[in-house]
Amino acid sequence: MKKVIKFFVFVILAIGWVVATRAVHIVRAPGLLAGFSKTEFAGQWLIIPKEKMGWDYTFVDITKWTPSDIPAHPAVVERLTELGRKDVLNHILEPAIAEAENKLPPGAIEVKAVSEEVQPEPSPAKRAKATLEGKSKSASEVKSKPKPAPVETSETETEESTKTDNETFDF
């Protein structure tokens, strides 16, 4: 009976591992295994979650990729860039960039010094704050306008309306 239970536990674990491989990219890149010296032959291993489950690109060896392989494997490249692991692709991109720079004629790329007079664009947070400040000024202008004459109401209604008119809400 113990053998049957062990067999079923093994089968369940094996099925779980097979399903788990559908959800991740196992990427082998050049580099050191866990940072240990003399492990260049093993490379650097990454386990990256896939965008959606499937058998595509479960195991990817990028050690011998060239720049032409990057457009051929968009799913892996997109996931690496989304997760901030573009450094894994440096062994492909750096030589390609150097080669492209060597092919450019001299003076094709101009580098201009930034003067102190040039002001950088404000961040989105500063623009939003300025927009809110502009709206709050217009709201204060609206508050200073005279109110229309009140319509005759009972005493309880006027007490309730004066309470809400006197309250100010700060956001």
Per residue in 13-32, pLDDT (tens digit) is 999 998 888 999 899 888 87
pLDDT band at 2 (very low <50, low <70, confident <90, very high): very high
What is the rounded distance in angstroms from the CA atom of residue 150 to the CA atom of residue 161? 10
Q: What is the pLDDT of residue 134?
A: 63
Q: How confident is the model at residue 55, as a pLDDT?
A: 85
Evaluate if residue 146 carries a pLDDT over 80: no
Model confidence over 33-67: pLDDT tens digits? 777 777 777 888 889 998 888 888 889 998 888 88
pLDDT tens per residue across span 61-119 = 988 888 888 889 888 888 988 998 888 888 888 877 777 777 767 666 665 555 455 55
Report the alpha-carbon distance of residue 158 to residue 160 in Å, rounded. 5
pLDDT at 171: 45
